[in-house]
């Protein structure tokens, strides 16, 4: 393995792998990640179709990965009536196990990979120094794609990491009969759960919950039994659904605090730049799209068309223009969904003005990304 690269990418999730495939067409790229592939990851596994054309241009065909085409949305709360809507662009139900592996296989055709964890990154004159557990490497440009929360955020003293976050998430695959073409969102006390199919016919249950609501119960099984089943749709689900894994995947301290796409001359993509509330089902598309935007400006910089400072400003502006309003709507929607009176009021409105639901969904998604 070389010691000097044009680009080093910290983190090989969706954002990091997409940037690697894009940039390795012209540059020497290294991705550093402590995990091997394939792997299950916390995610609702609903991928918005807005990324389809761009991924195709990179040689990734999501329709070959999954036939689960999702065009409908269903929302329930407690025992209240159900709301349904057609999704503006629709999406694909695909597991992170398959999707990340597909991107990894494509990326490794031209990208180097290092199985390691980055502990620090510094800018020295015109190159970055990247410190891992075992090595010291250099690159003309570094892209940070380490996801929602990483030890690197602590090392870089990013403001969001100083605050405690009350959110935790649980994910499990089940055998359960449900239509292919629907993604469901079921609200319960302190949180909400997404249900949709993935490529092998199994159903992914993934939920986000406030720790305050969770801590009264001794474990996930008790919480599922006592709280999730208060929702009528989830009650029906748990009656017959058969878990595939022995234990669910869990993560805690999920932060929705505002972040910056550029901090201290470091360029961030994916969840590292900003995490949209999961109920929007747009985080994966945003991770992929932010990788495309970053790749465009990093290419201009590496080809000496713009300076590093110009590149960072252009990326930052473009990121904000593309994602800021989506993040804002996501924040607002989550507040409404978890507030008893506001949800009741919203239900009342949606009952009378059902055409509003697709409009609201559209606000949390983007248009189809052009390659």
Ligand X SMILES: Cc1cc2nc3c(=O)[nH]c(=O)nc-3n(C[C@H](O)[C@H](O)[C@H](O)COP(=O)(O)OP(=O)(O)OC[C@H]3O[C@@H](n4cnc5c(N)ncnc54)[C@H](O)[C@@H]3O)c2cc1C
In the complex, the residues that contact ligand X under the rule CB under 6 A are 10-16, 32-35, 41-47, 117-118, 145-147, 150-152, 169, 194, 206, 208, 254, 270-272, 278, 281-285, 287
Cα–Cα distances (Å) from 130 to 59, 126, 219, in that order, read 29, 13, 40
**C-alpha span between 290 and 293 (Å, rounded):** 5
Residue pair 302/140 in contact by the 8 Å Cβ criterion: yes
Nearer to ligand X, 309 or 335 (CB): 335
- Beta pairing partners, 263: 266
Nearer to ligand X, 49 or 206 (CB): 206
Tokens of 66: 């999954």
Q: At what angle do helices 14-23 and 96-107 cross, to 10 degrees?
A: 20
Nearer to ligand X, 56 or 305 (CB): 56
**C-alpha span between 33 and 217 (Å, rounded):** 35
Closest CA to 293 of 265, 278, 312, 306: 312
Q: Is 361 exposed, middle or buried (0-12, 13-18, 19+ CB in 10 A)?
A: buried
Nearer to ligand X, 252 or 344 (CB): 252
Nearer to ligand X, 144 or 241 (CB): 144
Least distance CB 163 / ligand X (angstroms): 17
Least distance CB 16 / ligand X (angstroms): 6
Least distance CB 91 / ligand X (angstroms): 8
- Beta pairing partners, 207: 170, 193
CB atoms within 10 A of CB 148: 22
Nearer to ligand X, 180 or 306 (CB): 180
DSSP 233-280: HHHHHHHH-EESSSS-EEEEEE--S---SEETTEEE-GGGT----GGG
Phi-psi region of 201 (alpha: psi -120 to 50; beta: other; left: phi over 0): left
Nearer to ligand X, 167 or 301 (CB): 167
According to DSSP, the β-strands at 266-268 and 136-144 are parallel
DSSP 112-157: EEEE--EEEEEEETTEEEEEESS-EEEEEEEEE---S--HHHHHTT
Least distance CB 56 / ligand X (angstroms): 18
Closest CA to 43 of 183, 171, 180: 171
Least distance CB 10 / ligand X (angstroms): 5
Least distance CB 150 / ligand X (angstroms): 3
Least distance CB 95 / ligand X (angstroms): 11
Least distance CB 349 / ligand X (angstroms): 25
Residue with CB nearest ligand X? 13
Tokens of 346: 């919203």
Nearer to ligand X, 100 or 344 (CB): 100
Least distance CB 60 / ligand X (angstroms): 14
Nearer to ligand X, 43 or 62 (CB): 43
Least distance CB 298 / ligand X (angstroms): 16
Closest CA to 20 of 65, 63, 59, 64: 59
Nearer to ligand X, 49 or 233 (CB): 49
């Amino acid at each position: 393995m070389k010691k000097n690269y044009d680009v080093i990418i910290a983190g090989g999730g969706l954002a990091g792998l997409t940037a690697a495939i894009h940039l390795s067409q012209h540059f020497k790229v290294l991705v550093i990640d402590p995990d091997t592939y394939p792997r299950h990851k916390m995610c609702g596994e609903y991928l918005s179709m807005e990324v389809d054309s761009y991924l195709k241009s990179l040689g990734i065909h999501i329709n070959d990965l999954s036939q689960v085409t999702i065009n409908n949305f269903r929302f329930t709360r407690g025992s209240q009536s159900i709301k349904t809507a057609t999704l503006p662009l629709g999406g694909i139900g695909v597991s992170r196990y398959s999707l990340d592996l597909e991107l990894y296989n494509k990326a490794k055709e031209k990208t180097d990979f290092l199985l390691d964890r980055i502990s620090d990154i510094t800018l020295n004159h015109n190159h970055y120094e990247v410190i891992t557990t075992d090595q010291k490497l250099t690159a003309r440009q570094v892209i940070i794609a380490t996801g929602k929360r990483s030890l690197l955020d602590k090392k870089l003293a990013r403001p969001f990491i100083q605050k405690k976050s009350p959110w935790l998430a649980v994910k499990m695959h089940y055998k359960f009969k449900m239509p292919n073409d629907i993604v469901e969102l079921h609200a319960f006390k302190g949180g909400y759960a997404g249900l949709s199919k993935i490529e092998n016919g199994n159903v992914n249950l993934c939920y986000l919950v406030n720790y305050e609501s969770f801590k009264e119960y001794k474990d996930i099984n008790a919480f599922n039994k006592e709280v999730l089943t208060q929702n009528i749709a989830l009650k029906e689900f748990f009656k017959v659904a058969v878990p595939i894994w022995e234990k669910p995947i869990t993560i805690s301290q999920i932060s929705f605090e505002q972040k910056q796409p550029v901090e201290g001359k470091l360029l961030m993509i994916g969840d590292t730049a900003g995490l949209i509330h999961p109920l929007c089902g747009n985080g994966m598309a945003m991770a992929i799209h932010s990788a495309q935007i970053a790749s465009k400006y990093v290419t201009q910089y590496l080809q000496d068309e713009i300076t590093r400072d110009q590149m960072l400003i252009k990326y930052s502006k473009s990121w904000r223009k593309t994602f800021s309003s989506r993040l804002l709507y996501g924040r607002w929607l989550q507040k409404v969904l978890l507030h008893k009176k506001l949800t009741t009021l919203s239900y009342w409105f949606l009952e009378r003005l059902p055409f509003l639901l697709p409009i609201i969904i559209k606000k949390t998604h983007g248009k189809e990304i052009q390659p």
